[in-house]
Amino acid sequence: MSDFTPDEMMTIAAARALKNDDVCFVGIGAPSAACNLARLTHAPDITLIYESGTIGTKPDILPLSIGDGELCDTALTTVPVVEMFRYWLQGGRISVGFLGAAQLDKFGNINTTVVGDYHHPKVRLPGGGGAPEIAVSCGEIFITMKQSKRGFVETIDFFTSMGHGKGGDDRAGHGVTTKGPSRLITDLAVWKPDRDSREFTVVSLHPGVTRGAVEDSVGWAVKFADDVTETPPPSAAELGVLRDLHARTRAAHRGDRKSGNPNHG
Amino acid sequence: MANFQSLEAAIADNLSDGDTVAFEGFTHLIPHAAAHEAIRQGRRDLTLIRMTPDIVYDQMIGMGCAKKLIFSFAGNPGVGLLRRLRDAVENGWPNPLEIEEHSHAGMANGYEAGAAGLPSAVFRGYIGAELKNVNANIKSVTCPFSGEELACVPAINPDVGIIHAQKADRQGNVLIEGIVGAQKEAVLASSRSVVTVEEIVEDFAGVHPNACILPHWAVTAIAHVPGGAHPSYAHGYYPRDNAAYLEWDEISADRETFKDWMRKNVLNAGPEIFAERIKGL
């Protein structure tokens, strides 16, 4: 095993959460790297879906946006956005939604709308996009983001997308039958919701990470499972594939005008 | 019957101050040239509609064209936040901007209802989410059959729908390929439409029988503007100019730098400059 960064550990641990037969709605950023790493390692037959309408896409490089040409060029098919949200997402065809967040609370509720008051925001964030319905219509939700006190807060400023709501059976009380957030993968740990309270609980610490480091980067009192394990370190194969993917992506996105996709005239 | 016009005439004839207008494009085929023409013509008090406003709406907002924005995700894709939009929302510069915010599902369903001639759209949405508390246009209805409470949003029916497409034929039929987003719905939901195209061909002989085609009688005006989607991309013609999106983050960070850039690249330029911009991509 070679050295690895916390970012690499996060992406690799997130990729491991996906199965070969999953149909996964991919959020941009960290989720996109994890989903494609899964496809390039243990889950070659996974169906990756981006909200731009690309179904079964197999990009060679990570897209900058959810609608890069690479996603369409390598997809099984590309459907209109209306169809994506009505038939495929709302229709219940997608097993996993993989999301990131700007702010997250311990019940997996997500804010990507504003920091501060909605009408007089301190920071106007991009907004919900597809997430409010992804969070409810996919079979289950995985979340991946780096831990920080700014991001992991006791109370999020705006409820963009519902996780477990106020905890317990609150989600079901809204008439929602999907599982909601079932895993949170950070740069320090893997978390799963407590069976009863639905509060995210640390189930494994990444190699070398202490409980104190996890607690110091989260804005709520952290709960640990009774049997916290150590996340298996990245294998040489996982690291190699991830680094190759990032290297290809950097080369293609650095603005080199000769590196355009050859499929584009 | 689609009217072949210069871009200048097509925008002048179809877009007026105070209109609601959708310059649609879901990360692909974004009608930059048409939006720049609207900025040059000094349009004001527009209600801008788009699912994914990115740098071209940042430019229109920063130039004072807009009084309201209806959207579901506003960002510079892969780069970050929109700085001119933020300046308008957070500081009211150059003018205050009203916002009406939805989710993608809400906007997509709204466009579809608009194209279908329905007054509103019904879908399973916004459950446990807070947008419905800050947007009076997100309501709910109870299904008369199942009793399920569902989200309901008004149909989106712009005065003008503006898109960029790959091809028109001599008759004025329009072909859209690749990531088609909500462009077909946006055009069909609008009272008038303007389509810029990469290329005008004799006819569409040989295209796939299920190709996405807007018939000429469903389109108001067509303008031939090669490169008109730059710096977004046109599938089959040129890739996305990722460097331009990165550069925008710096240009838009400062009001004076922004205004200088707009003067040089938009106000003192014309549609023909887009063909130059895609060379070498």
Q: Which residues of B touch A69 (CB under 8 A)?
A: 28, 178-179, 233, 235, 239-240
Amino acid identity of residue B133, one-letter, is: N
CB B182 to CB A253 under 8 A? no
Average pLDDT over residues B239-257: 95
Q: Give chain B's mean pLDDT.
A: 97
Please state, in angstroms and rounded to a whole number, the distance separating the CA atoms of residues B237 and B277. Answer: 13
Q: Which of A107-116, A175-184, B57-66, B237-246 has the lowest mean pLDDT?
A: B237-246
Residue pair A95/A38 in contact by the 8 Å Cβ criterion: no
In terms of C-beta density within 10 A (0-12 exposed, 13-18 middle, 19 or more buried), how is residue A192 classed? middle
The whole-number average pLDDT for the span B40-67 is: 98
The whole-number average pLDDT for the span B202-231 is 97
| Model pLDDT for residues B131-169, shown as the tens digit of each residue | 999 999 999 999 999 999 999 999 999 999 999 999 999
Domains of chain B, CATH where assigned: 3-102+157-277 (3.40.1080.10)
Question: What ipTM was predicted for this assembly?
Answer: 0.96
CB contact under 8 A, A69 and B178: yes
CB B225 within 8 A of CB B29: no
Residues 129..158 of A with a Cβ closer than 8 Å to B: which?
Answer: 129-133, 135-137, 158
- Residue A260 has a pLDDT of 37
- Tally C-beta pairs within 8 A across A and B: 194
Identity (one letter) of the amino acid at A21?
A: D
In contact, B47 and B21? CB cutoff 8 Å:
yes
**B109, B121 contact by CB (below 8 A):** yes
Q: Does A125 touch chain B (CB under 8 A)?
A: yes
| Cβ-defined contact of B89 to A121 (cutoff 8 Å) | yes
Task: Indicate the pTM of the whole model.
Answer: 0.95
- Give strand pairing partners of B66: B46
Residue of B61, B86, B118, B127 best to disrupt the A interface, most CBs of A under 10 A? B127
Test mutation, A50, A113, A115, A124, chain B, max B CBs within 10 A: A124
Residues from chain A contacting residue B108 (CB–CB below 8 Å): 81-82, 84-86
> Residue B209: CB partners within 8 Å, gap ≥ 6?
none
What is the band of B110 on the pLDDT scale with cuts at 50, 70, 90?
very high
A199 is catalytic: no
**Residue-level pLDDT at A252:** 84
Q: How much of chain B exceeds pLDDT 70, in percent?
A: 100
Amino acid sitting at position B134: V
What letter represents residue B255's amino acid?
A: R
DSSP B247-263: HHHHHTTSHHHHHHHHI
Along chain A (265 residues), what's the average pLDDT of each consecutive run of 10 residues? Answer: 88 98 91 96 98 96 88 96 98 97 97 95 93 97 97 98 98 96 98 98 98 98 98 98 95 58 32
In one letter, which amino acid is A89? L
Contact call for residues B8 and B37 (beta carbons, < 8 A): yes
The pLDDT of residue A262 is: 32
Q: What is the pLDDT of residue A254?
A: 72
Residue A133 has its nearest CB partner, among B73, B125, B281, at B125
pLDDT number for residue A261: 35
**Are A60 and A98 contacting, i.e. CB atoms less than 8 angstroms apart?**
no
CA B77 to chain A, closest CA, distance in angstroms equals 5
Return the structure tokens found at B234. 């046109």
The CATH number, out of the four listed (3.90.226.10, 3.30.1540.20, 3.40.630.40, 3.40.1080.10), of the domain defined by the range A6-253? 3.40.1080.10
A174 interface with B at CB cutoff 8 Å: yes
Domain boundaries, chain A: 6-253
- Angle at which helix B255-262 crosses helix B55-62, to 10 degrees, equals 100
Model pLDDT for residues B23-33, shown as the tens digit of each residue: 999 999 999 99
**Three-state SS annotation for chain A:** CCCCCHHHHHHHHHHHCCCCCCEEEECCCHHHHHHHHHHHCCCCCCEEECCCCEECCCCCCCCCCCCCHHHHHCCCEECCHHHHHHHHHHCCCCCEEEECCCEECCCCCEECCEEECCCCEEEECCCCCCHHHHHHHCCEEEEECCCCCCCECCCCCCCCECCCCCCCCHHHHCCCCCCCEEEEECCCEEEEECCCCCCEEEEEECCCCCHHHHHHCCCCCCEEEEEEEECCCCCHHHHHHHHHHHHHHHHHHCCCCCCCCCCCC
Whether pLDDT at B124 is above 50: yes
Task: Tell me how long chain B is.
Answer: 281
CB B179 within 8 A of CB A54: yes
Contact between residue A204 and residue A11 where contact means Cβ atoms under 8 Å apart = no
Other beta carbons within 10 angstroms of residue A230's beta carbon come to 11
Q: What is the pLDDT at residue A255? A: 54
Q: What span, in angstroms and rounded, lies between the C-alpha atoms of A179 and B180?
A: 31
Q: Are A176 and A138 in contact (CB under 8 A)?
A: no
